[in-house]
Amino acid sequence: MPDRRQALTPDALAMMDTIARTGSFAAAARELGKVPSALTYSVRQLEDALDVLLFDRSSRQAQLTAAGRELLFEGRRLLQEMDAVANRVRRVASGWETQLSISVEDILSMPTIFELVQAFCEVRDGLATGQASDAGPATRLRLRTDVLAGTWEALVSGQADLAIGVSDEHPNPGGIELRPLGEVPFIYCMAPHHPLAQHEGVLVDAQLVHHRAVAVADTAQRTTPMTVNLLPGQDVLTVPSMRAKLEALLRNLGCGYVPEPLARPHLEAGHLVSRATARGPFGARLHYAWRAERGDPGAMGLGRALQWWLQQLESPTTRRALVERHAGPLD
């Protein structure tokens, strides 16, 4: 076993790749700067160590055996992984986190989130291919969607390094920075053939309680889940996301508050109607937050991937898009 491991060196794997790519021992020897006899000897040593034949000697061309094809396939994969590890170590040493986890509040614009993801990946890919002068991010992105207190919980529990769309009403355990994101206006909606849609005046709780509400489940697991605008004794249909809630409203399965930007195209098309309630319109004031001690691969400050995202969120245009722009291919 030790001999086999010692035989499977990066040079040996690269030699296999060169022979297969060039199609002959002679051509591979020229590319590698070796004489053909030296290359043939290296192949025989590798075959002896693995106790297999890697090339069919009956052909003039360098024809791989089944074992040779398997070694070529796995060898190329290993070489790629070695390069990836080397690049990742180099990039992490330059300040890029290995992974950045981002929790996004469900009511925000997913098209805008994915535009940011795309821009981040373009930075990584451009730098990795040498199109920029710095070392590109080795960071793997991990996105998750949370609701209400679940977004804050993901941050304080360490499941997320950055939370986009948290309330400032939660107690700060320390070490968490918050910045304003924007306010999302909510309106009370239902399908046009819902009974409440026939009322022209202001709807009061005594009317609402007799009709099923559609609510999005808080994703918090450890902290007390939040409930918003639900009445005691009211029938409730609980769904996993705001987009699922919108679908339920469109299907006349209930009524409830939804973000005005998300409901707007359906209101304009006549698929939903909005009605005033005695509770009045309200807005959710959202922030983005991060754990200042996280994203730090070298205890020298925030990691560069987190810095990149925070820099994007400093833009008023980006913050406005996250709050308001829901139209797009993903919707």
- Nearest to residue 164, comparing CAs of 301, 19, 313? 313
Distance CA 264, CA 267 (A): 5
Q: CATH code for 184-283?
A: 3.40.190.290
pLDDT computed for residue 92 by the predictor: 60
Domains 2-93 and 184-283 share a fold: no
What are the residue ranges spanned by the domains of the chain? 2-93, 99-181+285-324, 184-283
| Each residue's pLDDT tens digit, 196-228 | 999 888 999 999 999 999 999 988 877 666 777
**Residue position matching structure tokens 């705001």:** 242
For residue range 113-128, what is the model confidence (pLDDT) as tens digits?
999 999 998 886 665 4
Which pLDDT does position 58 carry in this prediction? 76
What secondary structure letter does DSSP report for 242?
H
121-125, 167-171, 294-298, 310-314: least confident range: 294-298
Average pLDDT over residues 260-271: 94
CATH of span 99-181+285-324: 3.40.190.10
d(CA 148, CA 135) in angstroms, rounded, equals: 37
| pLDDT (0 to 100) of residue 303 | 85
Classify domain 2-93 by CATH architecture: Orthogonal Bundle (1.10)
Q: Indicate the range of 237-241, 263-267, 270-274, 290-294 predicted with least confidence.
A: 290-294
pLDDT at 313 over 90: yes
Single pTM value for the model = 0.69
Q: What CA–CA distance (Å, rounded) separates 186 from 204? A: 17
> What is the pLDDT at residue 89?
67
Distance CA 118, CA 106 (A): 19
Across 139-167, average pLDDT: 91
